[in-house]
Chains A and B, each alone.
Chain A
């Protein structure tokens, strides 16, 4: 009865304060179950007293109403364990419960007094990370998580059947099985020298043929049967669906500025990421230089048409049906040890206008690469500062009309 009555407001109150936050959406009983687990510890340490008096103290940042909700859950847990809640003078044991906290989460402390002896129970509960917020936009960036792992992800490719994850030392292949990605094969990427710090990589799959680019190395292979052959190579990397091809510095984390492919022979200042797109007869290139400036080129690559300061160093272009049809997704100018965000920018004339709200991310954006047959998707990689995990995700743009 109490469980049912508590459900709607209980979760709302505790959402920001307890690890039940995400669980509340799925299972409202998680806070009562934590309370029950805590009470079981108290009872087992206290020799299963039949009647207890319980008092509470709050040493944490828990607000009074959330504290009251917790107290009720703990009272309920005692009752469910067939323990009578009585006044101190009638109690077999006095239980003083303190809600405290440390830097990682909540600490529940019970001091169980029985005559002259006392027992202590300390239970630590991790603090739930706050849900990521995405502010109301005029143009919405939609982020879909594809894969998470503890080790670094450089780039990835996915279609209906396959997920390929490029890592510094290997290419991992996964197959779709009832909506889940199941490991299929791991193909090693041998290399003679240590990778540069902030190692980067590019993965391209066309018609089942794999091309992987790492600093000073290139691998070729097939999805089926899985194979990969790697060699030392300074071949240029495809940045933007093959429209932009550039040489990568083998001992560093940036492109040298020397371009190949359709722009062969041209060179720009060294850059971290670049994109190109065409509107009508106008071709645009955008590069995030290693000097912290983003440079826009229009129709030719001899001199920039505009320079933008204060951009993050990772960008990619995405095609949509909104506005001019082309939007640059760019990371924020934050250090890699801090949370990051991605925002859509539209280039109009020589101006860069933000056209979406930033999408907050819990860690640094490691990579953004344009993907999809019509450049309608951006594949991204980030490392969460909270979990430490690397996440592969896709970004698409949705018009807000």
Chain B
């Protein structure tokens, strides 16, 4: 009995003392949340071409809302739409809008939603059935329409023109964009009239392209509530009992060959398919994950990670140097094998290390890979003008719904539109597996690793939610020391 009492007291003491001076649970209002971003965001338009779309989407989510959202458990939830249903073929969907206002005070209508969505996906038809109901008609069945409409690109907004002729985007979200210096700074202020209630924080400020040198040296975030970290910075911060949160391994690091046999880029010869396959077999993915990503990443053999689908292991991905050499020799009998130029994001030191490691592995199979840094590898438009044979891309995970994630990844990687139609119509996991398998056929895409998103959080920031796909959910965010 005495032992039990001691145990009980120990448990209770931990519970009552855990939070130190500050207890918490009910959020508190007020204060400004300051966040450091690693990269520059040039626009918060979810439809803009951006080098760092994941960061753009994080900012955009504060001010623009989608009809639906995916919660931390992967469930689709109402957002601007309060309910929805589809016909039996899942081709025509109807969404009922809740009562919400744009930041300019006008009421959100089905016509507004239709106009906004038509920009996001011109391939579907939109009609306002009444003031609050929008119908979306797709040419073929879309099994996961509600999940797809949670993607940032389907955010509902009004596009207006200001007195200078510049386009102004007006959203409905909990925060209003009040200051914007592209690539440098953004400030979002609480929307007092938000349909879901005013956010707790008065404002959220983002400072972009931050070096973190000072914070890492001090091992303190100082006045900042949060910042992104790369995997190699975790250890420094963790050693000082700071709060570091890692998402699951979400981002796909993959080699994408820019020219294929179908000849999308005139005047550029594709790398022989056998050489592409050989390179895939030569890469030591386990070493990249274990050493370069310090066991925080996982080797990638598919486009979607094992934790999301449960079937990535079926794509193989093991190193096989003997087979790689055979394929290389086979190719050499028919074509001249030239060095492969591999462009990587020059602002990402880890991408450089991975590209160099790939070059070392490739050499083992007799393939020459020449890595070099490029400034805009992540932008699809900019990629078109890159003179490399391949790029090493880091692609965020857009959704925790497998089919939506695969459709978005297919889009990001510039794969065929036909794949997307098949993905949207897929009803079973095995259909998605088969589609993914076909996407990897031809070795135009060589998955290398799945990498987590890392966040360094100040203890004064509460309810900062990092979703399984690395996205931030800041709906309930609040900071200490404010009233």
Contacts and interface: CB of A to CB of B under 8 A. Distances in A.
Given A120-B434, A122-B429, A100 B16 contact: no
Interface size class of B (residues with CB under 8 A): 35 or more
Contact of A194 (B16, B195, B430): B195
Contact of A310 (B17, B77, B198): B17
Contacts of A332: 15, 18, 25
Contacts of A336: 25-27, 463, 476
B332 to A, nearest CB: 31
Interface string B10-34: 0111011111111111111100000
Contacts of B180: none
Nearest to B192: A251
Given A195-B197, A311-B16, A354-B9, A385 B73 contact: yes
Interface size class of A (residues with CB under 8 A): 35 or more
A197 B4 contact: no
Contacts of A310: 16-23
Contact of A193 (B23, B25, B193): B193
A343 B198 contact: no
B197 A333 contact: no
A84 interface: no
Contacts of A103: 74, 248, 307-308, 400, 468
B110 to A, nearest CB: 20
A161 B248 CA distance: 48
Nearest to B473: A337
A386 to B, nearest CB: 7
Interface stretch (A7-15, A130-138, A235-243): A130-138
B22 A341 contact: no
B315 interface: no
Nearest to B21: A309
Contacts of B297: none
Contact of A109 (B16, B198, B314): B314
Given A102-B308, A122-B429, A357 B25 contact: no
Interface string A291-311: 011100000000000001111
A198 interface: yes
B33 to A, nearest CB: 14
Interface in B1-60: 4-5, 8-9, 11-13, 15-29
Given A120-B433, A122-B429, A358 B15 contact: yes
Interface of A is mostly: loop
A253 B400 CA distance: 32
B206 interface: no
Contact of A309 (B8, B9, B20, B196): B20
B75 interface: yes
Interface string A358-401: 10000011000000000000000000011010000000000000
Nearest to A308: B16
Contacts of A89: none
Interface of B is mostly: loop
Instruction: Give the interface centre of A195, A292, A345 by most chain B CB atoms within 10 Å.
Output: A292
Contacts of B235: none
B105 interface: no
Contacts of A59: 306, 313
A333 B24 contact: yes
A335 B313 CA distance: 36
A272 interface: yes
Given A102-B307, A103-B248, A197 B199 contact: yes
A107 B310 contact: yes
Nearest to B23: A333
A215 B79 CA distance: 23
Nearest to A331: B25
Contacts of A122: 310-311, 428-430, 433
B372 interface: no
Contact of B311 (A100, A251, A292, A343): A100
Interface in A79-116: 98, 100-104, 106-107, 109
Contact of A198 (B5, B27, B311, B313): B27
Interface in B376-405: 400
Nearest to A168: B197
A98 B195 CA distance: 47
A98 B306 CA distance: 13
Contact of A253 (B18, B26, B193): B26
Given A310-B19, A343-B12, A365 B72 contact: no
A175 interface: no
A254 interface: yes
B147 to A, nearest CB: 14
B15 A341 contact: yes
B194 interface: yes
Contacts of B476: 197-198, 336-337
A305 B380 CA distance: 65
Nearest to A122: B429
B465 interface: yes
Contacts of B16: 308, 310-311, 333, 343, 345, 352, 354
B174 to A, nearest CB: 8
Given A109-B311, A336-B476, A197 B25 contact: no
Given A137-B8, A354-B8, A385 B72 contact: yes
A340 B311 contact: no
B65 to A, nearest CB: 14
B12 A198 contact: no
Contact of A102 (B71, B72, B75, B309): B309
A237 to B, nearest CB: 15
Contacts of A195: 197
Interface string B192-236: 011111111000000000000000000000000000000000000
Contacts of A333: 15-16, 18-19, 22-25
7 contacts: A106-B310, A198-B200, A272-B26, A336-B476, A343-B15, A352-B16, A358-B11
Interface of A: 59, 98, 100-104, 106-107, 109, 120-124, 135-138, 193-199, 251-254, 270, 272, 288, 290, 292-294, 308-314, 331-337, 340-341, 343, 345, 352, 354, 356-358, 364-365, 385-386, 388
Closest 5 CB pairs of A and B: A107-B310, A354-B12, A197-B197, A333-B23, A333-B19
Interface of B: 4-5, 8-9, 11-13, 15-29, 71-75, 77, 193-200, 248, 306-311, 313-314, 400, 428-430, 433-434, 462-463, 465, 468, 476, 480, 483
